Amino acid sequence: MGKSDLNKQKKREALLNTAFELFTTQGITRTTINNIVEAAGVAKGTFYLYFKDKYDIRNKLIAHKASRIFSVADDALSKTQLTELDDRIIFLADNIIEQFNADKSLLGFISKNLSWGIFKNELISSGGSSDVDFYNIYTVLENSPRSFKNPEILLFMIVEFVSSTCYSSILYNEPTDIETLKPYIFDAIRQIIRSQELDPDAYLK
């Protein structure tokens, strides 16, 4: 990679970082391209060399940040000895919740954008991408000795359940703080998994 290419990459990253900083602190609507380029220390026109508009940079940020979160959680999981499916999924949920708890602005940003659409898109387009493999997480379910009615729907429900409940709790302490809420969430996850299992008693055997 030439010196010029390196410089380009640096500019692009400066814009991404600055935009993220502003999006999370001011909100997307209130952040203007002017704000971004000013804070990033580049000229206005430079922004348009790298991104089509504000929504282009937003989408790229969401995908990038969401990727990282799953990647971090997945890496942590691989360092454990957990084998039970319930335990593995709850470990992931807990890790992700903790990441969000540690960086609330990140939660506010990707929060309700972390929908099944992006999830699926990433699963599909993650082919040779350097970004994370959501696929790993998906395979957690597929490779389990236990079998489920519909693994995709199960995963979908868990993701939606966790993200929507922790959003309210972490950001607004509603209906209670996240530490208090966690056991309820984890219990519920175990029950949701059980509700979808073809042989509900399999795990007892």
- Contacts of 78-84 with C-beta under 8 Å, sequence gap 24+, read 84/203
The footprint of DNA on residues 169-198 (CB under 7 A) is none
Considering the rule CB under 7 A, would residue 205 count as an interface residue with DNA? no
CB 201 within 8 A of CB 158: no
Handedness of CA 57, 29, 121, 97 (dihedral sign): positive
The footprint of DNA on residues 4-23 (CB under 7 A) is 4, 7-8, 11
Contact of residue 70 among DNA, its own copies, none (CB under 5-8 Å per partner type): none
Which residues pair with residue 148 across a beta bridge?
197
CB 140 within 8 A of CB 133: no
Query: Using CA atoms in the order 130, 102, 139, 85, what is the torsion angle rounded to 10 degrees?
Result: 160
Closest approach of Cβ 176 to DNA, in Å? 35
Residues at the contact surface with its own copies, assessed by CB under 8 A:
29, 112, 115-117, 120, 149-150, 152-154, 156-157, 160-161, 163-165, 167-168, 172, 174-176, 181, 184-185, 187-188, 190-192, 194-196
If the CB atoms of residues 71 and 113 are measured against its own copies, the closer one turns out to be 113
Considering the rule CB under 7 A, would residue 60 count as an interface residue with DNA? no
Contact of residue 172 among DNA, its own copies, none (CB under 5-8 Å per partner type): its own copies
Which residues pair with residue 197 across a beta bridge?
148
If the CB atoms of residues 67 and 163 are measured against its own copies, the closer one turns out to be 163
Contact of residue 195 among its own copies, DNA, none (CB under 5-8 Å per partner type): its own copies
Could you say which of 19, 22, 42, 97 contacts DNA (CB under 7 A)? Answer: 42
CA atoms within 13 A on the CB side of 160: 10
Structure letter (DSSP) for residue 200: T
Q: What phi and psi values does residue 148 have, to the nearest 5 degrees?
A: -125, 155
Binding site for DNA (CB under 7 A): 3-4, 7-8, 11, 30, 32-35, 42-49, 53-54
